[in-house]
Chains A and B, each alone.
Chain A
Amino acid sequence: GQNIDQPTEMTATEGAIVQINCTYQTSGFNGLFWYQQHAGEAPTFLSYNVLDGLEEKGRFSSFLSRSKGYSYLLLKELQMKDSASYLCAVNDYKLSFGAGTTVTVRA
């Protein structure tokens, strides 16, 4: 079966940094995705890791350790518009999602 864990909620201040951790135990692995979902909207792609290491994309970075079954999404210079749910998903020929982490950015 699939087991993908991430914290339920996180709160941070505008301009700060927040790190969202994700641990996974899945039957297969062909990459890990992070998606952003604003309330009532469709999930949108943020990042993809298939090899160990850090992928940087502007204010967002994602890290993967396959041996540890661990990833994190790093959000820098937080803005109010970053308040959303962040979904960790593992690709084992279909995407299996964690429950999501709701990030609230406060002024």
Chain B
Amino acid sequence: NAGVMQNPRHLVRRRGQEARLRCSPMKGHSHVYWYRQLPEEGLKFMVYLQKENIIDESGMPKERFSAEFPKEGPSILRIQQVVRGDSAAYFCASSPQRGQGHTGELFFGEGSRLTVL
């Protein structure tokens, strides 16, 4: 399966711990996006990355949240000192490089569901 791969699918953390969510984009895709979805709500944009670059982090909370997409390996969304309000589904999506006749369609992973106790 060459789709967007996210892990873990489910993660439980206690308040104050750290959560690390990983995302491997589809083969050939160089753009990665992270979205957060609260129960009964839509997808909220968090951050847009290319390899080794953060392009847009306007949706990221100012504290405790960080994201990276290194030259080698998956993209990581890191949440430090988690609080109960961080409980949500975190979706990663990828797209090919722009300017190649691409519409901007995003291909989503299955999501990582974080529960903070």
Q: Is the CB of A95 within 8 A of B108?
A: no
B75 CB to nearest A CB, Å = 15
Q: Which one, B42, B91, B105, contacts A99 given CB within 8 A?
A: B42
Could you tell me the distance between the alpha carbons of A100 and B109 in the complex, rounded to whole angstroms? 18
Task: Give the one of A43, A91, A93 with max B CB within 10 A.
Answer: A43
Who on chain A is nearest to B42 by CB? A99
* A residues adjacent to B (C-beta < 8 A): 30-31, 33, 41-45, 48, 50, 87, 89, 91, 93-100
Q: Is the CB of B42 within 8 A of A91?
A: no
What is the total of A-B residue contacts with beta carbons within 8 Å?
49
* B residues adjacent to A (C-beta < 8 A): 4, 33, 35, 41-45, 48, 56, 91, 93, 98, 103-111
Who on chain B is nearest to A44 by CB? B108
Given A33-B105, A94-B33, A97-B42; A41-B91 close (CB under 8 Å): no
A80 CB to nearest B CB, Å = 21
A-chain residues with CB within 8 Å of residue B45 when the two chains form the complex: 94-97
